[in-house]
Structure 1
Amino acid sequence: MSRDWLSDDRADLAAERILDAAAALFAEQGVTSVGMADIAKAAGCSRATLYRYFENRQAVRLAFVHRETRRIAARVVHEVRGIEDPSQRIVAAMLGAVHAVRAEPLLIAWFRPGESGAAGRISQDSDVIESIAAGLFTPTGLTGPERSRLARWLTRIIVSLLSAPGRDDDDERAMLAEFVVPIISRAFA
């Protein structure tokens, strides 16, 4: 039995291959300088094929960021699930996300000087990232616009730490403990 070339599995694999090729280019050349022709060539497909999967360069960026955000979130959830104190769990989750991005050359490339604007815009405009952040970082009892704003604010802090790191891990942890924990504690009250 032959498989249809456009079957879901095959389409998913093609999209993943394109995103993997784009990721390598982002790390090598910088996020803002990579165009659709570059991505098609690196993925080994025609531009027409690339456009069948992704409408434009921003769609490729967004799909890549969403894929990696889901991957990091799953890892962070696993790492912090045993932390009972909600404020400490949020700080650990935020630092876990920062460390995961820094450890991955394909991701930290988004936060080099001149590149962080694209990541910042995506992180604040994406409903997917907001939803993941709300699940990771906000109290379950908090709902509606307040939860949404808190999730976007905490995401903004993570982007800030990636774009302009603290002096070291202890400095970043201290900043989060001193400035973020009091706000989070109020949200849990």
Structure 2
Amino acid sequence: MNAEQILDAAAGLFAERGVNAVGMAEVARAAGCSRATLYRYFEDRHALHVAFVQREARRIGALLPTDDAAEAILGAVREVRARPELIAWFGAADAGTTAELAQSDAVVGGLGDEETARWLVRVIVSLLIVPGRDDAEERALVERYVVPGVLHDRR
């Protein structure tokens, strides 16, 4: 048993039940380990959540282009929407937890320039919680308002 297997088990539960509805005992059962083993890897539910979000942010980041800011932002949104274990974080019951984690140093700290990362995470979370009417509208908003800010930050 390792941390990745536990996070995989948690992912399945998040997709089925939502993030805040899943307790540590349930994660341990789904992972096939004892609660003691689970707590060796993650001191509490918050630590489990942070580790899960960090892992998924790295996975999604590896899939995105580095030379097209709009496509990177919109690609991140598409990836989250396509994965039940990730979109679960943006439902009404879980959006507060997501918003708190999205701005935490533990999550944003590893994403490059901290100020720009915080801003981009806010944009992505916003699009996931309050989506545009369609893909075209979201693209237009990102290209008009977000990309100029990102490019300005790089000068």
* TM-score, normalised via structure 1 length: 0.76
Match of 2:62 in 1: 74
Q: Is the 8 A contact 1:91 1:181 kept in 2?
A: yes
Name the counterpart of 1:110. Answer: 89
Q: Which of 151, 157, 167 matches 2:123?
A: 157
Alpha-carbon contact 1:69-1:129 (below 8 Å) kept: no
1:64 aligns with 2:43: no
Matched, 1:167 2:133: yes
The structure having more radius of gyration, on CA atoms, is 1
Contact 2:15 2:85 survives alignment (8 Å)? yes
Residues in 2 aligned to 1:185 and 1:54: alpha-carbon distance in whole angstroms: 38
The alpha carbon displacement at 1:92 in A equals 1.0
Bigger relative contact order, structure 1 or 2 (CA pairs below 8 A, ≥6 apart): 2
> What residue identity is the alignment partner of 1:129?
V
Does residue 179 of structure 1 match 2:145?
Answer: yes
Structure 1 unaligned blocks of 5 or more: 1-12, 84-88, 135-146
The 1-side partners of 2:13 and 2:133 are apart by 29
- Runs of 4+ in structure 1 deviating by more than 4 angstroms, as ranges, are none
| C-alpha deviation, 1:128, in angstroms | 4.3
Report if aligned partners of 2:108, 2:114 keep a CA contact under 8 Å in 1. no
Post-superposition shift, 1:168? 0.8
TM-score (normalizing by structure 2): 0.92
CA deviation vs aligned residue, 1:65-122 (integer Å, no higher than 9, x gap): 111111100011xxx24x4xxxxx1111100111111111111111112212212211
Structure 2: runs of 5 or more not aligned: none
What amino acid maps onto 1:166 in structure 2?
A: G
RMSD: 1.5
How far residue 159 of structure 1 moved from its aligned partner, in angstroms, is 0.5
The one-letter code of the counterpart of 1:152 is: R
What is the rounded CA distance, in whole Å, between the counterparts of 1:128 and 1:113 in structure 2? 21
User: Which amino acid is 1:174 matched to?
Assistant: A
Aligned-residue offset at 1:181? 2.6
**Contact kept in structure 2, 1:123 and 1:130, CA below 8 Å:** no
- Cα-to-partner distance string for 1:43-63 (whole Å, 9 max, x where unaligned): 111111111111001111111
Does 2:5 align with 1:26?
no
Alignment: residue pair count? 155
Q: Does 1:125 align with 2:104?
A: yes
